[in-house]
Amino acid sequence: MVTSEDPDALFERGYEAFRASRFEEAVDLFERARGLSPRRSRTLVYFARAHYGLGRYAEAERVLDALVALRPEDPWSWFRRGHARHAQGHYREALEDIDEAVRLEMGDNVFDQGLDELFLLQASCWEHLGELERAISSFEMYGFAYGHRYVVEREVARLRAMIDSRKGSRKKGQ
């Protein structure tokens, strides 16, 4: 007999709530499931995603810290934590996580569908840090990997215009 405090049943109910965007309910259910089965990585992933859905990025990061500790060999763990750090404006820390995800991914190719997101997140971090040439490089890697020429050309043109604008501002200020 499955009770309401069975971690599998709690996870399934939490997942249903998550899919229906009932994030508060999902957080409660995943937290209870985690209490009963703290090393279950899938619970941690969705527990963090539910916090993220509520805009609780610091809470998501704390959950993802546990996931990284549990599965340090998994590039997705690092990528997800990088996403939470980016959402909080912690761009350097997000880049560290992205770099680790890339390092780990190189041998595994687990990012088949997510590598594009990784490059876009990396580009966003560099842009927020004002390192526009590095952002351009990330967009170009994204384009190289996925062939989204229009997106890459648009973003590179936008960033180059920002660089040119900065150069023009410096000349006027001299």
Q: Please give the pLDDT value at position 117.
A: 81
Q: Please give the pLDDT value at position 109.
A: 57
Residue-wise pLDDT tens digits, 58-112: 999 999 999 999 999 999 999 999 999 999 999 999 999 999 998 887 665 555 5
The pLDDT of 24-40, averaged and rounded, is: 96
Q: Please give the pLDDT value at position 168.
A: 73
Phi, psi of 147 (to 5 degrees): 65, 20
C-alpha span between 67 and 42 (Å, rounded) = 9
Token pair belonging to 89: 């404006």
What is 1-89's CATH topology?
Answer: 1.25.40
In terms of Cα–Cα distance, which of 44, 22, 24, 17 is closest to 33? Answer: 44
> Which is more confidently placed, 23 or 107?
23
Helix, strand, coil content of the chain in percent (nearest 5) = 80, 0, 20
Q: Please give the pLDDT value at position 112.
A: 57
pTM above 0.85, yes or no: no
Q: Please give the pLDDT value at position 170.
A: 67
b/e map of 101-134 (b: 16 or more CB within 10 Å)? Answer: bbebbeeeeebeebbbebbbbbbbbbbeeeebeb
Q: What is the mean pLDDT of the chain?
A: 88
Per-domain boundaries in the chain = 1-89, 112-174
- Report yes or no: 67 and 44 within 8 Å, Cβ to Cβ: yes
